[in-house]
């Protein structure tokens, strides 16, 4: 539906006078830079995977962010340990994980997370070759049921395994 | 003379360093954030998330950028996509009866305060807001808007008209 009777010149002029550019908060630049990995064409995706998990978790209320997380009044912290799953996936995969973290924050569950590199060194007593943990998230949920429900929705649960373990300290 | 976008892209392609990346970021982040800020209705936390996510998606694809359009337009496409994913419901829902948000006491937009205009813009439903912002503030054509929002250029045109109409109604002084 058009409204031809209304001249838009003054309105469009007023809109055009608004500045296109707005200076973004410094923490975005700082965070992107802090998580930047020297890259070459072939492995630029590594940056996206690693930084997305970090940065979106940051966006989701991580303590390093100058943001106030929306914490539930009560609750417990859980570790989501990510095993298996695809070895690639690139930035689309990372974006899915990021979207999950953002959604969790919207629901009032603070989330932080990291992707782990493949390298691992053992210290202490020898043990059978464990399955490598690919990454982890720390989530605050009201109880087990809520934590499990959140884990089931995690994109990694689609083709990998998410182990949910309560964190002992409050 | 400052380096061109093409030269900055070449530098990033050569060394993939954080310095090359920051040169690109510093040149385009303010425009990208300006778009994100308004598209997210003036919510700076959401706009920051969008800006960060947009760069994370764009960086791996920088080597694929074909340089047929401007780099800024290409980067802003990531902003629009990230914003769209955050919008709830249909892009162009029915515009509800609106209350005026103007405190100017005048319908003369030449004397209208920027705050009133920003507030009115933020109160528009997301789809209309997006079209008005892209067309009237960022100078996109209807074909470009159609491309980034996944709609027909004709739809962009008609929704711009609706969006402006709703915006104007919101700017009327309360009587």
Q: For B52-93, how does the pLDDT look when each residue is reduced to its tens digit (9 = 90+)?
A: 889 988 888 888 888 888 899 999 999 998 898 887 666 666
Q: For A39-52, how does the pLDDT look when each residue is reduced to its tens digit (9 = 90+)?
A: 443 333 333 444 44
Disruptive mutation site among A4, A14, A53, A111 for chain B (greatest number of B CBs within 10 Å): A14
Distance between CA A165 and CA A163 in Å, rounded? 6
Distance between CA B92 and CA B114 in Å, rounded? 25
Q: What is the pTM of this model?
A: 0.60
Q: Sort out which chain B residues have CB atoms less than 8 A from A89's CB and list them.
A: none
Contact yes or no for B117 and A23 at CB 8 A: no
Q: For A60-85, how does the pLDDT look when each residue is reduced to its tens digit (9 = 90+)?
A: 332 222 232 333 336 788 999 988 88
Residue that has been written with the tokens 């605050």 in this structure: A140
Complex ipTM value: 0.85
CB atoms within 10 A of CB B39: 27
Q: For A129-161, how does the pLDDT look when each residue is reduced to its tens digit (9 = 90+)?
A: 567 788 889 998 888 888 888 998 998 888 888
CB atoms within 10 A of CB A128: 4
């Amino acid at each position: 539906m058009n409204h031809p009777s209304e001249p838009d010149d003054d309105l469009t002029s007023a809109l055009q006078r608004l500045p296109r550019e707005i200076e973004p908060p410094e923490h975005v630049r700082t965070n992107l830079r802090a998580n930047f990995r020297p890259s070459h064409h072939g492995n630029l995706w590594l940056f996206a995977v690693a930084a997305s998990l970090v940065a979106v978790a940051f966006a989701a209320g991580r303590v390093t962010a100058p943001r106030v997380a929306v914490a539930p009044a009560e609750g417990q912290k859980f570790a989501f340990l990510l095993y298996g799953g695809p070895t690639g996936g690139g930035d689309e995969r990372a974006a899915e994980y990021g979207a999950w973290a953002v959604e969790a924050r919207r629901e009032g569950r603070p989330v932080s997370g990291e992707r782990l590199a493949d390298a691992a060194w053992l210290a202490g007593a020898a043990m059978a070759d464990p399955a490598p943990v690919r990454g982890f998230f720390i989530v605050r949920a009201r109880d087990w049921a809520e934590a499990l429900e959140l884990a089931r929705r995690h994109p990694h649960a689609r083709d990998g395994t998410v182990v949910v373990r309560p964190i002992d300290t409050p | 003379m400052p380096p061109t976008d093409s030269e900055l892209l070449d530098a990033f392609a050569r060394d993939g360093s954080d310095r090359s990346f920051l040169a690109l970021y510093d040149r385009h982040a303010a425009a990208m954030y300006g778009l994100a800020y308004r598209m997210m209705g003036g919510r700076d936390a959401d706009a920051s998330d969008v800006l960060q996510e947009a760069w994370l998606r764009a960086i791996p694809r920088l080597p694929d950028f074909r340089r047929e359009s401007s780099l800024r337009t290409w980067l802003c496409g990531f902003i629009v996509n990230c914003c769209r994913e955050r919008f709830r419901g249909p892009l162009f829902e029915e515009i509800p009866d609106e209350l005026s948000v103007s405190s100017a006491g005048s319908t003369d937009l030449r004397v209208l305060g920027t705050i009133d205009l920003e507030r009115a813009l933020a109160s528009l439903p997301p789809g209309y807001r997006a079209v008005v912002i892209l067309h009237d503030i960022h100078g996109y054509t209807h074909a470009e808007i159609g491309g980034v929002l996944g709609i027909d250029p004709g739809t962009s045109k008609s929704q711009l008209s609706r969006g402006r109409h709703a915006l104007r109604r919101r700017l009327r002084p309360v009587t």
